[in-house]
Amino acid sequence: MSVAEATEPVSTADGRQIGGVLMDMRHITLRFGGVEAIKDISFDIREGEIRAIIGPNGAGKSSMLNVISGFYNPQEGEVWFRGERRPPMKPYQVARQGIARTFQNIALFDGMSVLDNIMTGRLTHMRTGLFRQAVWRGGAQREEMANREVVEKIIDFLEIQRIRKTPVGRLPYGLKKRVELARALAAEPNLLLLDEPMAGMNVEEKEDMSRFILDVNDEFGTTIALIEHDMGVVMDLSDRVVVMDYGRKIGDGTPDEVRANPEVIDAYLGVAHD
C-alpha cells in the first residue's frame, strides 16, 4: 500500500467517509511455544471507522487485540500506529498513546464505586504528583474536579447516573459491561478496542450497547475495533470486517463482501449443504 493511499480518506459501502490509516498491522505472527496463535496477518484500521474482527472460537481474535494493546509482543511483524512504527511496549505505555479497551470477561475494580472506576480511566490525563496530591487543596483538587466534569459527561452519555456511587461489585452483568465501556471512554481514546461487548446480553441490552457504540463513533469520532460473535450486530455496526480462522486471515472487506466470500462462509457463517 502506498503512503498516499493510506492517508487519503475513503468512503465505505454505506457512503460514510472514513479517514486515513490509524493503525496498521503488518505481517504479525504470534507464537506461544510451538503454537502459532496468529500467522502472518496484516490489516489496517482507519480513522473513524468501526472495524470488526470475527472468527470461530480459538481463531486468535483476542490474541490480536492483546497484540494491539501491548499484552503480547509478536515474534514477527510490525505494528504501525499513526504513521510510526511502534517499538515493543508495556500495556500502560500503549494506554498513554491513546488506546483503550474493554475485556471479554469484565475486568472492573470491584472494590471501588462506579465513579471511581470511571475516574481511573482518566489516569492518563492526570498529572499532579504525590506531594501535591498529599496537600490536595490547590492543584490536585482542581485537576480532580476538571476530570470529574469529563467523567460526568460520559456518565450522562451512557445513562448510568443513578449508579454513580454504587460499588461495582453490586451491579448486574449488563450494567458492569456499560461501566467498563465508560471507563474506556473516559480515557478519550483515539482507538477503542472492544472484546465481545455484547457477550451474554439479552436483546434489549444488545440494542442499548449497539446504540452506544454507534453514538461513540458518531459523536466523539472514536475509531473502534471490536470482536463480536453476534453476526447481526457485526454486519449492522461495522464498516469493514476482518475474518480470522486458525490464526489466519481468511477475509477482509465490507460486511457485504465478507458475507459473499466463500471461504468465510465455509469456515464461519455456515452453508446449507444440499
Helix (H/G/I), strand (E/B), else coil: 67: helix
When asked if residue 112 is in the footprint of other proteins (CB under 8 A), the reply is yes
Binding span for other proteins by CB under 8 A among 33-41, 112-120, 234-242, 258-266:
112-120
Closest of 43, 8, 46 to residue 258, by C-alpha: 43
Task: Supply 266's cell numbers.
Answer: 465455509
When asked if residue 86 is in the footprint of other proteins (CB under 8 A), the reply is no
Q: How far is the CB of 13 from other proteins (least distance, A)?
A: 32
Q: How far is the CB of 105 from other proteins (least distance, A)?
A: 11
Sign of CA dihedral 107, 187, 123, 117: negative
When asked if residue 177 is in the footprint of other proteins (CB under 8 A), the reply is no
Out of 6, 89, 126, 265, which residue is the one contacting other proteins (CB under 8 A)?
A: 126
DSSP H helical segments within the chain, as ranges? 3-7, 61-68, 91-96, 114-120, 130-135, 139-157, 173-186, 203-215, 231-237, 255-260, 262-264
User: Distance (Å, rounded) from C-alpha 22 to C-alpha 35?
Assistant: 29
When asked if residue 148 is in the footprint of other proteins (CB under 8 A), the reply is yes
Binding span for other proteins by CB under 8 A among 72-80, 125-133, 207-215, 254-262:
125-133
Amino acid identity, residue 193? L
Shorter beta-carbon distance to other proteins: residue 87 or 270: 87
Contact between residue 115 and residue 176 where contact means Cβ atoms under 8 Å apart: no
When asked if residue 130 is in the footprint of other proteins (CB under 8 A), the reply is yes
Find the binding residues for other proteins in span 50-69 (CB under 8 A): 69
Judged by CB under 8 A, the number of residues near other proteins is 41
H helix count then E strand count, the chain: 11, 12
Helix (H/G/I), strand (E/B), else coil: 70: coil
Angle between helices 173-186 and 203-215 (to 10 degrees): 10
When asked if residue 114 is in the footprint of other proteins (CB under 8 A), the reply is no
Cell 500467522 belongs to residue: 39
Binding span for other proteins by CB under 8 A among 44-52, 78-86, 87-95, 226-234:
87-95
When asked if residue 162 is in the footprint of other proteins (CB under 8 A), the reply is no
Residue 82 DSSP label: T
**Which residues sit at the interface with other proteins, rule CB under 8 A?**
69, 71, 90-92, 95-96, 100-101, 103, 107-112, 116, 119-124, 126, 128, 130, 133-136, 140-141, 143-145, 148-149, 152, 183-184, 187
